[in-house]
Each structure stands twice: as C-alpha cells, then as structure tokens.
Amino acid sequence: MAFVSEYGMFLLKAVTLLVVVVVVIRVIARSASWDPSPGEGTLRVKKLNREYQKLGDRIRVRILSRAERKALVKARKGESKAEARGETDAQASSARLYVLRFSGDIRASAVESLRQEVTALLAVAQPGDEVLLRLDSSGGIVNAYGLAAAQLDRLRQKKIGLTVAVDSVAASGGYMMACVADKILAAPFAVVGSIGVVAMIPNVHRLLKKFDVDVELITAGEYKRTLTVVGENTDKGRAKFTEQIEEAHTLFREFVGRYRPQLDLAAVSTGEHWYATRGVELGLVDALQTSDDYLLAAVEQRAVYEVRFEPQRTVSNRLASFVDATARRLFHSGWQASRDSRYGI
C-alpha cells in the first residue's frame, strides 16, 4: 500500500508538471508575433476522374501492344488539350459528385475543415449534384459531434444528395453523423451503431485526504458541479450526473429517429455496436459497398471532385498540436482525458 500511495503521489506530481509545461508552451507559441493569422487555410479541389484513369493507364501501358500504347498516349494528349481549352464532355454536363473525408478523433477536430468544405459546396452545388462523405470515426464529445452532424444537415436542407460511406467505423458520434445521410454504405465488417453515451471520471479524493490535502471547490448554482476529480462526490451529485447522461442519450435517440424513422430504436439504442452485415438487417446501413467501388462506378458516369480544406499550419499550430498529441498519448485513459468531466458518445 505504501508503494501504491507513493506511486499515486508521483503520478499526480507528474501530471501537474505536464499540465504546467503544456500551458506555458501553448501560451508562448500562440503569442508569437511572427505567426500568420490563425484560421486561414487552403481549399483544394482535385478531379478524381483523371486520377482513376491514371491508375488504369499504369497497367494498360504494360499489357498493351506498342501500337496500342501509342494510340493511348495520343488519345490522352487530346483529352488534356481539350480540357485545357475548356471544352466540356458528357461527364462535365451531368450532375457532379463531390467527395469529402472526415477522420474523427475524440474532439471531432476535423469539424473545422468540414464546415469550410460544406460552405464552399453550398455556394456552387447544383440540383442533382451529390456529396459523398468518406467517414471514419468511433465518436467523442457530444457537442462536437453534434456540430459535425449539423454541418451535414446543411446539405440536406439545401436538397443536395448526401451519401456516407463507412469503410472502417462509424460508431457513437460517428453514427450520429452518418444517420443524417440519405444513404449509408458500409464495408461488410465496418463497425456501426453504438447509440449510447458514456462518461468516466476518476476521483482521487481519498488519496488526497490520506495525505492531508484539502481541496476547496466553490460554486454558485446547485448543480454547477456534480462529480469532480479531486473533491468528495455525493449521491445527489451522482444522481444528477446520471440524469444528464440519460438526457443526452434521449436526445441522441431522437436525433437518429428523426433521420432514420424505419429503425427500431429500442433495439438499436442499447449502446451496442454491430458489423455492417448485421447493420443492414437492423436498418442501420442501407447497402454493403466500399467507398472505392462507389467511386469507381461514379467516375465512369459523371465528374467527380475531391474537396479538402487544409487549415494553415502555423508554427504555433504545429507546436500546440505536438504538445496536445503527446499529452493524449501519455494520459489517454487517465487524468488528461477526463479531468473536465465531459462525457462522450
């Protein structure tokens, strides 16, 4: 027990020191006067038809005869010249498909890029155009993923078709985003569902009390704090916190039901997750298909563009991201991940 206590105090000191170092470095980095204005970035647009064509051509030049290769090279040069002159083809005159990516972390950091991409698309999309979101996320903070889902809803409000493709995972907050789509595609063993809410808050009050360390927590408002990391938690606080968790779960269920009314919410909102093969049977997924197959078929029929917003990576951004990433790796399941009592989906 003595070893455990000493180790606990060592860990507490180490975490405190790390937090101080993180704060100091972030303050110094963000106050650097020679950094460009944060929030700026670049919107990159790439036509995927040509990219897929190049992939095929790499094999064609190996298997075609010499005469056929010459004909292929001549044809591609002609296409490039026509495109440079602005001449349209059948693909350009048809409805377009815009491709977005969202790789989610616990804070849904990619939502800042997503909101820029959606805003740009709303300015140019025409009736009949479609957006394909390649989504990969296992969820995170409730309000962050709520904002990400709201960005996708902007597309639906403007009557722009939205398809979500899940190749790996769209669970919890990730599924909150996916359910907004008109159609959900998924690879057979992609993970979907997990319509539930979870919270984990460590408490070191008894350890601090053993070493005669007092913590003063002063609040205004009966439920300003329900459960804390360092203070003494009460049954009343636990009951209120549970009530808040249940409320978040109810809102989550209602949100999913609004966009996918065919679901048996009682059956799928237990917090469980399923592979997409089973998800089709439950109504969580509309069809089993990878995003690659969907795009391969699309490039044969219409113009396909990948749209990606890249935030400007200033020196302070890079340094702050490095420090944050290091802290998360060291204390992902401990103090750093849950000290602010936020709960995730």
Alpha helices in the chain (DSSP H): 2-30, 48-63, 66-84, 90-93, 111-124, 142-157, 173-178, 205-210, 235-259, 265-268, 276-282, 291-298, 315-331, 335-338
For 98-149, what is the HEC assignment?
EEEEEECCCCCCCHHHHHHHHHHHHHHCCCCCEEEEEEEECCCEHHHHHHHH
The separation between the first and the last C-alpha atoms of the chain, rounded to the nearest angstrom, is 36
C-alpha distances (whole Å) from 114 to each of 34, 179, 207, 312 are 28, 16, 43, 15
Whether 276 contacts 175, CB under 8 Å: no
Alpha helices in 184-223 (DSSP H): 205-210
Whether 268 contacts 284, CB under 8 Å: yes
- What interhelical angle do 66-84 and 48-63 show, nearest 10? 160
**Which residues 6+ apart lie within 8 Å of 254 measured at CB?**
none
The yes-or-no answer on residue 172 being catalytic is yes
Report how far residue 122's alpha carbon sits from residue 100's, in angstroms, rounded to the nearest whole number: 13
Report how far residue 120's alpha carbon sits from residue 135's, in angstroms, rounded to the nearest whole number: 19
DSSP bridge pairs for 97: 130, 304
The closest of 223, 133, 231, 217 to 182, measured between CA atoms, is: 133
Q: What is the DSSP letter of 344?
A: B
**Which residues 6+ apart lie within 8 Å of 207 measured at CB?**
5, 8, 9, 12
Q: Is 181 in a helix, a strand, or coil?
A: coil
Catalytic residue among 31, 33, 224, 333: 224
Whether 91 contacts 301, CB under 8 Å: yes
Catalytic residue among 172, 269, 291, 316: 172
The yes-or-no answer on residue 194 being catalytic is no
**Active-site residues: which are they?**
172, 224
